Structure 1
Amino acid sequence: MKQTLNFLAVAALSLSATMASAQSFPTRPVTIIVPYSPGSTDTMARTLAQDMSETLGQPVVVETRPGAGGSVGATAVVNADPDGYTILMAVSSVQTVAPHQRELSYGFDDLLPIARVSVGPNVIAARNGAPFTTIPELVAYARENPGVVSYGSAGTGGATHIAAEAIAQAAGIDLFHIPFGGVTPAITATIAGDVDLVLGFASAILPRAESGQLVPLAQLSDERTSLAPDLSTLREADLDLALPPNIGLWAPAGTPEDVIAALAAAIETSATGETFSEFAANALVEIDVAGPEEFLRVLQAEDAFYAALLPTIDFTE
């Protein structure tokens, strides 16, 4: 009986400590590290941070720490104290792609998902005058002309390079890769007619399509998004493939569950609020909030997909 009472006393103390931790977090500013140069993700993070600060009752500051495709900033978060005060906002490739491409000091399990806020989407488009205006036409032409159709990417080994190769494999076609130093020069070359295809975020592609400079072929999401309701998905074009860029937030592994829950709740409140919704509409960002458990399932599936895909792609070009 005495042992039972002692156990209950310890359990009560543990529960009390957990509740106290949840009630006290945060007691100082929270830092969101964005692992890219100032731009769209950085602006998204700062917009999200505004309402997060109000919900959490502490300042939420954003710090950009670019380098190595996002892995520099991701490493900084992995090495931070697992207390919720230093978190990451990035595209999911920092967790599901980068560790498979090169030797890093962190792996999939070293980042703990807090919440997803957006799914992109990515779009593939063709130059004006290309001998195809739909995905089925592209596939048919590329099969008849192996290696003739070219696509511009933001750089070898980057997300757009990998996405194009995944599409080529799913369709059973050969495409000719032309890497650029970013999506913008790849788009410029496609508009000029020097490249046949280009891939990128909707925010980069759709305005050019609306002005008649590019011909959108498909969006790479699971389903049609509200941003492009008239643009078909790859699956609608009989390619069993979806490559939505998941944008979310992570904490270092070992961060307490109650802290993760507090952050996730603040993120959801901000991501579904008026300020962030207005930003998303103007920036052509599709809001799609997922909590820690759902986001983890998405990331695990994505990690498995890229673990199988990446060894089949030639990155030596």
Structure 2
Amino acid sequence: MKKINLLRSVCAPVLCAGLSLSLLSGCGSSQAPAASKAESVAETAAAGTSAAKEAGTTENDDFEAKVADWKPDQNTITLRVSTAAGSTGDLIYRLIANHIQKTTGTTTVVQNITGSNGFLMATDLTSYDPSACELMLGTEALFVVAPLFNEGINVSMDDFEILYGSPSNAPSALAVPASLGIKTWDEFVEYSKNNRIIVSSNVPGGMTHIQATALMGSAGIEFGSVTDNGGNKNILACLNGDANCVVVNTTALHDYVESGQMVPLVQFSSETFNDDAWGLDPIPSVSEIGYPKIAVSPCTVLCCRKDADPVGVEAMRRIITDYLNSDEGKKELLEIDSTLTPISAEEAKEHLENEIETMKYIKDTFYK
């Protein structure tokens, strides 16, 4: 929200008359004028404070009125995501887009711009003027991984206005086809001693590929890769026999586990995963199997370009977060096996900055 600076001035009273009286009457008689001066200063200060509060209240009321009356200044509102159609992020933001369209009466679309960990998506956004109608879903892949693993990519959170953030409720997990007969991480390690491991994940430099590299590297397991963008594609590559394990987020994995086709072995958050939207057997964390340094807690952030109209930014923020916090929004998200809890822009930025240290460790240790 736009910050309002209130300038308060306290005017000192004119003391000439009091000073003359003191000189004529002696020190003892100066007490009454001193009290009078103190009262005068206090009254002036109180008047200034009251005026400042009234001015602040008026400005705040004016801002709130503008937010309430805000209308999109474009014929189309665009939500950009860096994942493929049908992915978790895509499905979530199609629900959000539908709500925005119903609320504003303005056509709202989801645009899938994959590749380069979101850099292509960010480049597209920055080709438009700053506006609350031009949005993108930024991730740790864009703001943390891309600059760290590719020196040619220069992206900063400071170039964007964050409307809100959302810590991931769907961590990435390592899973195997049920046909392998493997049910635990220890059994997978034993299996790897006599069988070549092929991991299905997103492309090199993508988050799940980096996580696979960190996990296999921590366990001393050599592996090959089958890569593609899109969690469902990664899982199908595994089920089709092109790979014997997959690293993918638990939302994409859910239905395959529920149907008995896939078995999750370990996931990449710092604690056992047992989310309401998951609703299946808990999955142990990488910390529990001895690798706490590769545990990550991804966080997405909905952004527009810096310097967008603060009224529009606040209005759009409220439209979306009110939906996400509503019973309707929670129900619709659960129907696609998802949950999303919005946090403030400040909390989200701090969360992403904390992930930098984890990714630096992974890069320095497994990408020498």
State the TM-score, normalized to the length of structure 1: 0.79
Which stretch shifts more, 69-78 or 259-268? 259-268
Is 2:363 the partner of 1:273?
Answer: no
Which residue of 1 is the match for residue 161 of structure 2? 112
Tell me, in whole angstroms, the C-alpha distance in 1 between the residues paired with 2:86 and 2:197: 31
* Whole-angstrom CA distance in 2 between matches of 1:131 and 1:249: 41
Structure-to-structure mapping, 1:1-16, within 5 angstroms: 4=9
CA distance in 1, matches of 2:162, 2:322: 17
For the 8 Å contact 2:144–2:355, the answer to whether it is kept is: yes
1-structure distance, mates of 2:202, 2:132: 33
Q: 1:134 to 1:20 in 2, by over 3 A?
A: same
Question: Aligned residue for 2:214?
Answer: 166
Partner AA of 1:137 in structure 2: E
Are the aligned partners of 2:268 and 2:296 in contact in 1 as well (CA < 8 Å)?
yes
Q: Per the alignment, do residues 36 and 232 of structure 1 end up closer, same or farther by CA in structure 2, a change over 3 Å counting?
A: closer
The question of 1:181 aligning with 2:228 is answered: yes
Q: How big is each residue's C-alpha offset from its partner over 1:146-201, in whole Å with a ceiling of 9 and x where there is no partner?
A: 994331222222222111112234x3422303122334443234224442210112
| 2:79 maps to 1:27 | no
The count of aligned residue pairs is 309
How far 1:284 sits from its partner (Å)?
A: 1.7
SS in 1 for 2:284: coil
CA distance in 2, matches of 1:200, 1:129: 18
Secondary structure at the counterpart of residue 205 of structure 2: coil
Alpha carbons of structure 1 residues 219 and 229: separation in structure 2 relative to 1, 3 Å: farther
Among candidates 63, 85, 106, match of residue 59 of structure 1: 106
Distance between the aligned counterparts of 2:140 and 2:61, measured in 1? 31
Unpaired segments of 5 or more residues in structure 1?
Answer: none
Instruction: Map 1:1-317; keep pairs closer than 5 Å.
Output: 4=9, 20-25=62-67, 26-28=70-72, 29=74, 30-40=77-87, 41-52=89-100, 57=104, 59=106, 61-69=108-116, 70-102=118-150, 103-117=152-166, 118-130=168-180, 132-139=182-189, 142=192, 145=193, 148-169=196-217, 171-182=218-229, 183-223=231-271, 224=273, 225-226=275-276, 227-234=278-285, 235-240=287-292, 241-255=294-308, 260-314=313-367
Q: CA deviation at 1:262?
A: 4.2
* SS of equivalent residue, structure 1 residue 218: strand
Give 5+ residue unaligned stretches, structure 2.
1-7, 12-47
For residues 202 and 304 of structure 1, what CA distance do their matches in structure 2 show? Answer: 24
Q: Distance in 1 between matches of 2:342 and 2:284?
A: 20
**Residues in 2 aligned to 1:284 and 1:79: alpha-carbon distance in whole angstroms:** 34
What TM-score, normalized to structure 2? 0.69
- What's the counterpart of residue 36 of structure 2? none
Give the structure, 1 or 2, with the largest relative contact order (CA under 8 Å, sep 6 or more): 1
1:300 is paired with a residue whose SS is helix
Q: Give 1:231's aligned amino acid.
A: P
Distance 1:135 1:22, change over 3 A: farther
| Contact 1:154–1:186 (CA under 8 A) maintained in structure 2 | yes
> Separation in 2 of the partners of 1:104 and 1:138?
36
Deviation at 1:80, TM superposition (A): 4.1
For 2:44, the equivalent position in structure 1 comes to none
1:108 shift after superposition: 3.6
Aligned-residue Cα RMSD (Å) equals 3.6
